[in-house]
Copies of this chain bind each other. A is one copy, B any other.
């Protein structure tokens, strides 16, 4: 027993440009709901977290990069998720992540729908995830009450969303988020979309909490 309520939220850390994070985003909410849990989505700038943790970027080495590009496509097929390596991969993700935290504060029910739009647009149609105005358009679609895309772009680029994202990055460093996706259940980290079978077993009570 960890002393935490059995229904405590699950943390889902990811970077908007992470294929494995996208694959996880397509399944984690439904899986958690089956076990009476909700999910707290936490997008971060993975490169900033890794730099602080003194870890190299995941695509830095050509041998691993070649393997991963192959594995992205194969894992998408295996998991049944629509996917195509985006043009200009990987995109910068600060606008998308700032927009998420802006919505979380001002229109919280729209933050996850926005995140789905952004990742599906990027990983299915090579939409310009790194472009502020494209991100603002996704916000306008998910949260029409926020205004039109041009005015939303101004909101995203303001100081407050920047500060909210900086806070999330600091929290990720404290939580030792060394990759995307990283799912935390009652304090126990699970790294990678390939940990889905263990996450499912853990939530179903078939895999005991790790005591380390």
Contact = CB atoms under 8 A, between A and B. Distances in A.
Interface stretch (A9-17, A155-163, A191-199): A191-199
How many copies, total? 2
Contacts of A192: 194
Given A63-B178, A178-B64, A210-B74, A195 B194 contact: yes
Contacts of A201: 78
Interface string A175-199: 0101000000000110110110110
A69 B212 contact: yes
Interface residues of A, number: 32
A195 B165 CA distance: 33
A57 interface: no
Contacts of A66: 176
A208 interface: yes
A78 B210 CA distance: 11
Given A75-B198, A194-B194, A67 B208 contact: no
Given A67-B189, A194-B194, 7 more contacts: A55-B61, A63-B176, A64-B178, A69-B212, A78-B197, A78-B201, A197-B197
